[in-house]
Amino acid sequence: MFTGIVTDVGEVVAVEPRAENLVRLTIACRYIAETIAIGASIACSGVCLSVVGRGSKDGGNWFAADAAAETLRVTTVGRWRPGTRVNLERALRVGDELGGHIVAGHVDGLSVLIERDDLTDMAKLTFRAPAALSRFIAAKGSVAVDGISLTINDVADDSFSVMIIPHTLAVTTLHALRLGDEVNLEVDLMARYAARLLERG
């Protein structure tokens, strides 16, 4: 589990095909390599990946993780290349501050940036969500966009908007988003379970 509070922005330094529909990603980060356990979960732009290797090189730290067919199919991971920057968050520990909302790291689908309004030190971003997910998105509710916990401002049909404060623009990859870019979208777990309960009567 995660909170959607990004603690580092890493950079993909290698993408290595390992088998059919399996790639190994090496991501440079500021986390101390010795503190990253093999098998630990790290959310990479909202995608929960398991660490399969870690180390240090040329004064920098890195970890490696494998991405399989389903992850490559439903997330942006399949398009990551060396130089791609990704939001990172280590798994929530018991006793940690819950500053965002509960995020599983299981991406529900891709959302597209359809409008960007850059204000003074802030930005209003509007995304189009897949129709199957739009019913889980509500004004003042929570959503994870590329692993970032955000509060929804407005909802209209299958689109929603979020206001990005200066700090979030500075410490995540959102500042670099352009119209037409796709992002990983995870809807609020509470909304999903509430909808499921209503469906079952």
Q: Note the pLDDT of residue 100.
A: 82
Using an 8 Å Cβ cutoff, are 53 and 36 in contact?
Answer: no
Q: Note the pLDDT of residue 193.
A: 67
Using an 8 Å Cβ cutoff, are 34 and 62 in contact?
Answer: no
Sign of CA dihedral 109, 104, 165, 134: positive
- According to DSSP, the residues that pair with 47 across neighbouring strands are 44
201/194 Cα distance (integer angstroms) = 11
Domains and CATH numbers, the chain: 8-90 (2.40.30.20), 109-199 (2.40.30.20)
pLDDT in tens, the chain (201 residues): 999 999 999 999 999 999 888 999 999 999 999 999 999 999 999 999 999 999 998 889 999 999 999 999 999 999 999 999 999 999 988 777 778 888 999 999 999 999 999 998 899 999 999 999 988 999 999 999 999 999 999 999 899 999 999 999 999 999 999 999 999 999 987 777 676 666 666
Q: Note the pLDDT of residue 95.
A: 73
In sequence order, the 6+-apart residues with CB closer than 8 A to the CB of 116 are 123, 124, 125, 126, 177, 178, 179
Using an 8 Å Cβ cutoff, are 173 and 182 in contact?
Answer: no
Using an 8 Å Cβ cutoff, are 86 and 166 in contact?
Answer: no
